[in-house]
A and B are shown apart, each in its own frame.
Chain A
Amino acid sequence: MHRAKKRFSVGKKQNLVGWLFLTPAAILIVLMSFYPMIKALFLSFKTGIGTTMTWTGTTNYTRMFQDKVFMQALNNNFLYLIIQVPIMLILALALASMLNDKHLRFKGLFRTAIFLPCATSLVSYAIIFRSLFAVDGFVNTILIKLGILNTGYNFLTFPTSARTIIIIALIWRWTGYNMIFYLSGLQNIEYSIYEAAKIDGASPFQSFWKITVPLLRPIILLTAIMSTNGTLQLFDESYNLTYGGPANATITMSHYIYNMSFKYVPNFGYAAAMSYLILILVGTLALIQMKVGDKRD
């Protein structure tokens, strides 16, 4: 027994113990997450109604590119991604560096206020936004009172305004969340660097651009990947705020997948194939972002 014990060095032994501690979690993840994913991959090569499914090869994958509604949903997702994510991240970064100022008073209050939207449930905030922008809602009442409009403007019945509202809602909901990441990243930047820059005569904008942004790069990368992932899987806003309307102008891919599984005649094979497209898109975009964003030598 003693001899056997010697076969493992201390490092190896610690490694082994580490793995043992990881095993329970790993097994659970494999069972609960990877196993369904593999099943879904097989499912995506089948087609049929409900339980009566047959193998059809890659039909589902070619089918989705002829599906006008799905293509529209894909476009909508990318529209949200291209417009909303940059605005949100820049805003979060600006807010974070403002709130990181040592001389700012009531810092805790501001931080809480900006983070608070994140604590609201996705469904309830979507419903609140819907009532805010109703014909007789808060926004229209204000606009009429200010004399900007004569009668209520039905924001949610026009494609452009409906999309704009979704983007505004997303910014409201998620800016604080990203800001917290930046704030915690900023804690790792030595304050003396800023002081040194100030002594050298750098403007606040310069120190932001030359110190904050480069030093926060890993965190910016992280938030960019998370936001991309979140935006491509967007569901609650489309489902609860606009119901995907008007005329599918705001529907997202996840919403369409949901309809395909639970509202329409269930076609799980096709729904699984569309889910895999989202996975591929998220993976590809994350890879590109990592190649572009990660400048470590």
Chain B
Amino acid sequence: MKKKWLALLTATTMVISLMGCGSQAATPTADATADETAPAADTEEAAPADESSSEASDSTLTVWCWDPAFNVYAMEQAAEVYKATNPDFVLNVVETPWNDVQTKLTTAASSGDLSTLPDILLMQDNAFQKNVISYPDAFVDLTSSGIDFTQFGTSKVTYSTVEDKNYGVPFDNGAVIACYRTDILEQAGYTVDDLTDITWSKYIEIGKDVLEKTGKPLLSCQAGETDVIMMMLQSAGGSLFDADGNPDMVDNDILKEVMNTYAELVSSGVCIEVNDWDQYVGSINNETVAGTVNGCWIMASIQSVPEQSEKWAITNMPKLDKAATATNYSNNGGSSWAVTSNCKNVELAADFFAKTFAGSVELYETILPSSGALATYLPAAESTVYTEPQKFFGGEAVFAKITEFAGKIPSNNTGVYYYEARDAVAVAITNLVAGADIDTELQTAEDTVNFAMGK
């Protein structure tokens, strides 16, 4: 009997110790995460390595963002700016890729345990509406927090506004630019001015000529991705949803024109389709194409080939021919800062933003030259740093130009079901390029989105 009890005891101990392993393992992991972030946040000498977000002291803010050369850097510089007036302030940046931010946010919010979230996280503008509406309790309303949202471009603020409440501080700019290789255009007898303020039909006309004379298409696109479609759509103020949030595709004349234009771009050979992002960037860097149209953040990829310096020029994108509201300006990508409900010191976070991203021209002057982080904060555009000529782009003051573009972008309504709609349109455009009928395809796309919305 004694032996039996002993065996039972041993077994129980084993079970308990195993379970103990599980919970113990969690703690070192959390520490490890904090440790890893320490080098990233090495500008903050005072950052204690073992401090996790949940037990942050009063003057500490933890932030999730993803790009060390871009938004992490910008955040650290902002901390420096803020520290000048608040010496106790400590910023703890945890480098987290966007997909992980989304997954962690989904997990934390749907389990109802927000304690794993940081104080501040960077969110893709396209996912903002979805996340705030899905998890209203996870975010802090910043409308009356002292941050002046009127200082940002309207189209940008719209992304992070839900039911007239501001949930996000706008950060980077996704203003669309058209980039062209001036040397290739020259071979075909064109200059950048010929491609400025033009329509898509003119673009296709020139594109065919360039293709014939140099063998290079003007544009490359990722097959099955709708970036170009969405850019064209927004350039005319169009959306995939109406004002009430219902999918609006079948009777959407702007969308139809966009889809037909895209199909023509592909069928004429002016645009070549590639399979993934690396091939897309490759086609630009390897001179497979003579230009591209994308958010201004694409400049970082273009500039990765130093030999092509002075061979690039930037101008605005082509506009739609028929749509009455057509412009040469649009937006693609971009992100905004959100404050989570796990933030213990919302006043500090709000004050931090009010004095940095929403109040410091100096901050934007610091981050622009080294990271190319273009502001959506309008007063920054008047800074002299923005008017400095950029050698790579033919000695033009491209940053001032893009900031000017940014102010002219029509607003668009992403809606909550943005990704569903985007994927449905991607299916439609793939079939359209393969020869399907546009009305049938749009009907299917609208049905798909309606179905996803449970209608």
Contacts and interface: CB of A to CB of B under 8 A. Distances in A.
Contact of A265 (B10, B19, B426, B452): B452
Interface in A233-279: 243, 245-248, 259, 261-266, 268
A24 B2 CA distance: 21
A24 B18 contact: yes
B163 to A, nearest CB: 15
Contacts of B130: 264-265
B184 interface: no
Contact of B109 (A51, A136, A156): A51
Contacts of B434: 246-247
Contacts of B451: 66-68
Contacts of B431: 247
Contact of B135 (A24, A50, A262): A50
Contact of B11 (A4, A21, A69, A130): A21
A287 B135 CA distance: 41
Interface in A47-91: 47, 49-51, 66-69
A69 B288 CA distance: 35
Given A49-B134, A245-B430, A263-B419, A23 B15 contact: yes
A156 B275 contact: yes
A50 B134 contact: yes
Interface in A14-55: 16-17, 20-21, 23-24, 27-28, 47, 49-51
Contacts of B417: 264-265
A49 B133 contact: yes
By CB atoms of chain B within 10 A, which of A21, A28, A156, A246 has the most?
A246
Contacts of A130: 275-276
Contacts of B133: 49-50, 265
A268 B275 contact: no
B78 to A, nearest CB: 29
A297 B329 CA distance: 76
A97 interface: no
A267 B419 CA distance: 13
A24 B134 contact: no
A208 B306 CA distance: 62
A245 B223 contact: yes
By secondary structure, the B interface counts as: helix
A284 interface: no
Interface in B80-127: 99, 102-103, 106, 109-110, 112
A240 B130 CA distance: 24
Given A66-B451, A134-B279, A246-B223, A157 B420 contact: no
A50 B135 CA distance: 6
B424 to A, nearest CB: 9
A255 to B, nearest CB: 12
A154 interface: yes
B416 interface: yes
B250 interface: no
Interface string B14-40: 110011000000000000000000000
B274 A247 contact: no
A265 B279 contact: no
Contacts of B1: 1, 4-5
Contacts of A222: none
A265 B420 CA distance: 8
A266 B288 CA distance: 39
Contacts of B99: 262
Contacts of A49: 133-134, 416
B137 interface: yes
B224 A134 contact: no
Given A66-B451, A265-B417, A24 B15 contact: yes
Interface in A198-252: 243, 245-248
Contact of A68 (B135, B278, B448): B448
A154 B11 contact: no
B8 interface: yes
Interface in B258-289: 272-276, 278-279, 288
Nearest to A21: B11
B134 A266 contact: yes
B106 A262 contact: yes
A151 B4 CA distance: 77
Interface of B: 1-2, 4, 7-8, 10-11, 14-15, 18-19, 99, 102-103, 106, 109-110, 112, 130, 133-135, 137, 223-224, 272-276, 278-279, 288, 416-417, 419-420, 423, 426-427, 430-431, 434, 444, 447-448, 451-452, 454
26 contacts: A1-B1, A5-B1, A23-B11, A24-B15, A27-B15, A28-B19, A49-B416, A50-B109, A51-B110, A68-B444, A68-B451, A134-B274, A135-B274, A135-B275, A243-B276, A245-B223, A245-B224, A246-B224, A246-B434, A247-B426, A247-B431, A264-B419, A264-B452, A265-B417, A265-B419, A266-B106
Given A28-B18, A246-B223, 9 more contacts: A28-B19, A50-B109, A51-B137, A134-B274, A154-B275, A246-B434, A259-B423, A264-B417, A265-B420
